Amino acid sequence: MPFSLDTSGIIDIWTRHYPPDVFPTIWVKMDAAAKNGEIWIIDEVAKELKRKEDGAHKWVKEREAIIVSIDSEVQEHVLEIMRRYGRLVDPRKNKSGGDPWVIALARARGLTVVTSEKHTGSLRRPKIPDVCKDLGIPCVEVIDFFRKQGWQL
């Protein structure tokens, strides 16, 4: 099952919960998943990671094949997502700009979204899981991503 990784999911794995110096096995498995075409990162997420400067961006760039360039199909999905869920992105906070792109990539390619965001239960100020649920796109948290991959430490 292939996955579209959100910035928050990658940061949680890299920095917050499973840093490579403490959990090297996870990163061996992540590397294998990257090589096997099981994980994908939309270009907008790679740009967001670059601003963090915590090593995650370097890891992604070293596996450049997992970075998906924005194409017309993904753009069409982003336009639809933003028309329906305009408050998914908050321009005042200068963040979450990659969220519609993560969802659009999943929709275009039949992927499952991996994010650390939580459901708000409302489409008035939605988060990724809310939009995914409304659109019928599978969406999981990091630990469930590991489970779906069958990974054990």
Specify the CATH number for the domain of residue 66. Answer: 3.40.50.1010
DSSP string, the chain: --EEE-HHHHHIIIIII--TTT-HHHHHHHHHHHHTT-EEEEHHHHHHHHHH-SSHHHHHHTTGGGEEPP-HHHHHHHHHHHHH-GGGSBTTTTB-TTHHHHHHHHHHHTPEEE------S-SSS--HHHHHHHHT--EE-HHHHHHHHT---
- More confident position, 96 or 12: 12
pLDDT of residue 93: 65
Q: For residue 115, what are the domain limits? A: 3-149
Predicted model pTM: 0.94
Total number of domains in the chain: 1
From the list 45, 137, 125, 130, the residue with the least C-alpha distance to 86 is: 125
pLDDT tens per residue, range 40-56: 999 999 999 988 778 99
pLDDT of residue 95: 60
